[in-house]
Amino acid sequence: MNINNEMIKNYLQQRSDLPEEFYTLFGSMDQERVLLFSLIDLDAELKFCQRWLILTDKRLLLIEQGQDKINCLHEYERALVKKVLEVKSLGLTTLQFLGGGNGPFFFEVQFTHRQKAMMEKMRFAIEESVFKMEMSAAETYQSTILKPILEARNNLADENQDALVRLLHYLRPYKKEVIIGMTAALCGSFISLIPAYLSGRLIDDVVRPYQSHELTGPLASKLGLTFIIGLVGAYILREFFIWQRLKRMSIIGEKVASDLRNDLFQHIQTLGADFFSRKHSGSLISRIGSDTDRIWDFIAFGVVEVTVAIGTLIGLSVVLMARDFKLGLAMVLPLPFLLFAIYWQGERMKKLFIRAWRKWSVVTSHLSDVIPGIQVVKVFGQESREVKRFTQKNKDFTEETFAFHRTWTTFWPLLMLGVHTTTILMWGLATPRLLSPAENPEHLTAGVFVSFLLYATLMVWPLEIIGQVSRMLNRALSSAYRIFEILDTRNPMPMASAIQVPAVCLGDIEFQNVFFSYDKLRPILKNVNFQIRQGEMIGLVGTSGGGKSTITKLLARIYDPHSGIIRIDGYDLKELEPAWVKKNVGMVLQEPYLFFGTIWENITYGLPNAGELDIIAAAKAANAHDFILKLPNGYDTVVGERGHTLSGGERQRISIARAILHDPKILLLDEATSAVDTETERKIQEALDKLVVNRTTIAIAHRLSTLRKADRLMVIDNGNIVEMGTHRELVAKADGKYAELYRLQFEVEGGSLLN
Amino acid sequence: MIEIYKNELGLLCTRKQNAEIILEVRPCFPWSRKHGFYSLRDEKGVELALLSSVETLPQAMREIMVERLEQLGFTLKILQVLKIVEDIELRHFEVRTPCGVRIFQTMLDDWPKKMGQGHFLITDLHGDLYQIADFEEMDKESKRILEPYVA
């Protein structure tokens, strides 16, 4: 069973494919293909059920798994079903399948939101007469139904729970250091057992013989000194090994975290736009930052401490039983109970932690809601109301922390009481043996007993660490999952085997039978064909969502078309070296992005060795030079995060200067002037006019006036180029799409737009 | 007053200039004021009428609307909580509802939303809604399991 089937079964308790009986039945149907299917999980009485809506290239069927056979509840020729009506409810959706117009009504199905994404695909396929699917019906169903779960789990399925092992692979380059660190850790923990042993021997071999006059004073002193030197040596060695362990493992942890950060950042640069549209930048930053930090914590301390704790407990048990089996057993036997008590406490604390965490998330969401909106709070004079709301939420959280602290502060003295009870038990068992004559085989020496008492104090720490193993592992695994999700993501745009690097770029562009869809179902571009000659300026116009921006994204190779070919100077774009494409295809976006740094660093981004005169010339051409020099620090002015210290128009002109300096042969302008006032637009337009000279330019603009210099205009509607020609030619088409758009803007803005 | 009826196909409709229009009902306040303010719209989403209460409708229309509103307000009600298990990034709930037993997942930092005294709403990863009508009225074991998430 594949992992998707298993996840669907375990997580959603439903089938991952159509019942086998259906395929048996279906096999006899002549050349009919199942395109899509979906589970219908609610019946007419709104009880859970397992029915399947199946779309083939010929029919639409609703089947139900009966006791011993498949029942077909509805079956219609696909061509008859023309329309699907949707009734949205809070917790379910109803789809009604109808013929043309408002009837005839065939049947309706109801399902929970879990099935909605899949049902939307089916609805689209029915209404848009889709007869070809890229994936098999089962694959489409499984990936759609699991998508929210896989995304929540950072796209790591159960089979990838070897994340921890993969994480440990990062230790490989530091194998030697790890071996030294781990050996030091184990040596340190075993040496910790020596002082208690030596103390016992000191009492039995020196103190008591001296007190009973079996040893002379000088000899006892000499022997005592030897033991004390031994103790000093043991303590020094122990601390030496601990120092070695801490030093090496914390540095290894940092190295691994640094390697992970480098790998992550390097890998992120290779990923396609699709990935960044799915992931928030905040989430990526936290993966590079706090998740790698957690990994450091786990490697530097977690792995070692758990190993040392287990080693110490085993070592203690062996030593205790070797020294005195009965007494040792009395100390070792309570260990499982103490471990259980710690586990039980952990479970209790988990519940309290969940409560505190929930209340804390209320506090933080209040903060993240109110602080960015503080101006609105002030304008409406709601400061005291907000303070009151915050105080209440803060109080709720604080009270939870009281419960949390009450519990652990009560538990630890109780646990210690448990440990002390073991000590008392030891006293109880040992006292008669301590008082028995020395020749009694059961006699226990004071030294052995003292060493037992000292060993008892060593038990608490490993118990505590082992009690935290599960929490520590879960935290590290979560972080490892989040990191490996990125590292496992591959750029969906593979490199061609034979890479072309033409000596020069002329700027000829060709789209040949280009189809593209963001979700592989709803086509955004449908068989787009056009040719642009070098140096031409093309204006792309049309309604929002028509596919204009998609054309520029395909040309900049942010995405690849699903079928068809895009050519630059006759070369297939997929075969051109990506760096060559980046160098020769430049983009000016609607919302320019400036990095934190000086203005000149932002202008020279992509061309860091540009000369000062070139930079100034580019800024002048972009109408940016004058405003830059009005700033006290000129080109050395540091622009804040995302360039927020500048106005929108100023940021745009810097981005245009960047494009001018970059000097691409093909320039893509995506709504470059849409977000600015008229005066700024004029300045930007002037800059763009200079920029487009001697370049092939594709410009998208809602304001048709900005395209007045375009050689040709292409009107895009619903994924197709519906009109192409000069402004004059297109306006002349009385019932044309462009003429309509032009008239609408003319009415709104008044006066001449392009003349 | 707007005319509301079910046509022969069972679809909720109204009539405008002798043409039959399929009606869509959108409650304005699906949670806070469940019993009033419904926007009646055509297929393109244009509002044809705003109904402040079904009580103002004639008997036959009221029955049709009440039936539709019951369907629109449908959510899964949690009768019993069988299990809550935390996993990497996910929290799994196993619950009993009037429709049957259901397993669903939420993110670890998504919490049941308090809608009123003892009334909670859980939204799962797929967007399904699960209501706890009255926490205090639940069985002892369900309360014990749910307590950290709602108390």
Identify the pLDDT of residue B137.
93
C-alpha to C-alpha distance for B122 and B129, rounded to whole angstroms: 6
Q: What is the mean pLDDT of residues A497-505?
A: 85
Identify the pLDDT of residue A652.
85
Write down the CATH number for the domain with range A168-487.
1.20.1560.10
- Check whether residue B49 and residue B95 sit in a common domain: no
- Check whether residue B52 and residue B90 sit in a common domain: no
Residues of chain A contacting B149 with CB distance shorter than 8 Å: 354, 358
A·B CB contacts under 8 A:
103
Q: Please check the confidence at residue A157 and state whether its pLDDT lies above 70.
A: no
C-alpha to C-alpha distance for B37 and B56, rounded to whole angstroms: 12
- Check whether residue B30 and residue B80 sit in a common domain: no
Q: What is the mean pLDDT of residues A515-537?
A: 85
From residue A374, how far is each of A380, A383, A385, A392 by CA, in Å? 10, 9, 12, 19
Question: Is B119 domain-assigned?
Answer: yes
- Check whether residue B80 and residue B32 sit in a common domain: no
Q: What is the mean pLDDT of residues A127-132?
A: 81
Identify the pLDDT of residue A159.
46
C-alpha to C-alpha distance for A685 and A692, rounded to whole angstroms: 10
Q: What is the mean pLDDT of residues B89-102?
A: 92
CATH 2.30.29.30 residue window(s) in chain A: 3-152
Q: What is the mean pLDDT of residues A99-106?
A: 74
Collapsing DSSP to helix, strand or coil, A72 comes out as strand
Q: Tell me, what's the ipTM?
A: 0.89
For chain B, the domain total comes to: 2
Amino acid making up residue A315: G
Q: Are the Cβ atoms of B111 and A361 closer than 8 angstroms?
A: yes
Q: Which residues pair with B100 in a beta bridge?
A: B97
Of B103, B111, B127, the CB nearest to A12: B103
Instruction: Give tens-digit pLDDT for A134-150.
Output: 788 898 899 889 888 88
Identify the pLDDT of residue B79.
96
Instruction: Give tens-digit pLDDT for B31-83.
Output: 887 778 899 998 788 899 999 888 888 999 999 999 888 888 888 999 999 99
Identify the pLDDT of residue A392.
94
> Cα distance from B53 to chain A (closest Cα, Å)?
18
Identify the pLDDT of residue A522.
72
Say which residues have a Cβ less than 8 Å from residue A25's Cβ, sequence separation at least 6: A70
Instruction: Give tens-digit pLDDT for A356-395.
Output: 888 888 898 888 888 888 888 888 888 889 999 999 999 9
Question: Is B67 domain-assigned?
Answer: no
Burial of A665 (0-12, 13-18, 19+ CB in 10 A): buried
Residue B72 contacts A, CB cutoff 8 Å: yes
| Contact criterion met (CB below 8 Å) for A656 and A628 | no
- Check whether residue B47 and residue B89 sit in a common domain: no
Of A46, A103, A354, the CB nearest to B148: A354
Q: What is the mean pLDDT of residues A453-463?
A: 81
Question: Is B68 domain-assigned?
Answer: no
Chain B 98-117, CB below 8 Å of chain A: which residues?
A: 98-105, 107, 109, 111
- Check whether residue B92 and residue B134 sit in a common domain: yes
Cα separation of the two ends of chain B: 47
Write down the CATH number for the domain with range A536-557+572-749.
3.40.50.300
Token reading at A689: 């006019």
Considering only CA atoms, which of A561, A563, A553 is closest in space to residue A587? A553
Banded pLDDT at A67 (limits 50, 70, 90): confident
Instruction: Give tens-digit pLDDT for A279-312.
Output: 666 667 777 777 788 777 777 777 778 888 888 8
- Check whether residue B91 and residue B52 sit in a common domain: no
From residue A155, how far is each of A160, A559, B28, B71, B86 by CA, in Å? 10, 21, 37, 35, 17
Q: Alpha helix locations (H) across A436-459?
A: 446-458
Banded pLDDT at A448 (limits 50, 70, 90): confident
Burial of A627 (0-12, 13-18, 19+ CB in 10 A): middle
Q: What is the mean pLDDT of residues A479-503?
A: 76
| Exposure b/e, A593-603, CB count within 10 A at least 16 = b | ebeeebbbbbb
Q: Which residues pair with A677 in a beta bridge?
A: none
Q: Are the Cβ atoms of B149 and A358 closer than 8 angstroms?
A: yes
Q: Please check the confidence at residue A330 and state whether its pLDDT lies above 80.
A: yes
Q: What is the mean pLDDT of residues A173-202?
A: 88
Q: Please check the confidence at residue B94 and state whether its pLDDT lies above 90.
A: yes
- What is the residue whose two structure tokens read 């509301």? B4
Identify the pLDDT of residue A610.
85
Question: Is B142 domain-assigned?
Answer: yes
Q: Are the Cβ atoms of B107 and A152 closer than 8 angstroms?
A: yes
- Check whether residue B92 and residue B46 sit in a common domain: no
Amino acid making up residue A14: Q
- Enclosing domain of residue B124: 76-150
Q: What is the mean pLDDT of residues A217-236?
A: 91
C-alpha to C-alpha distance for A561 and A547, rounded to whole angstroms: 13
Side by side, the strands of the sheet bearing B76-77 are: B76-77, B129-132, B119-123, B113-116
Considering only CA atoms, which of A424, A449, A423 is closest in space to residue A436? A449
> Cα distance from A46 to chain B (closest Cα, Å)?
6
CATH architecture of A3-152: Roll (2.30)
Q: Higher confidence at residue A689 or residue A471? A: A689
Banded pLDDT at A569 (limits 50, 70, 90): very high
Q: Please check the confidence at residue A352 and state whether its pLDDT lies above 70.
A: yes
- Chain A nearest-CA residue for B23: A87
Identify the pLDDT of residue A66.
74
Residue A477 contacts B, CB cutoff 8 Å: yes
- Check whether residue B39 and residue B87 sit in a common domain: no
- Check whether residue B101 and residue B138 sit in a common domain: yes
Q: Are the Cβ atoms of A102 and B90 closer than 8 angstroms?
A: no
What's the per-residue H, E or C state across chain B? Answer: CCCCEECCCCCEEEEECCEEEECEEEECCCCCCCCCCEEEECCCCCEEEEECCHHHCCHHHHHHHHHHHHHHCCCEECCEEEEEEECCCEEEEEEEECCEEEEEEEECCCCCEEEECCEEEEECCCCCEEEECCHHHCCHHHHHHHHHHHC
Q: Are the Cβ atoms of B149 and A354 closer than 8 angstroms?
A: yes
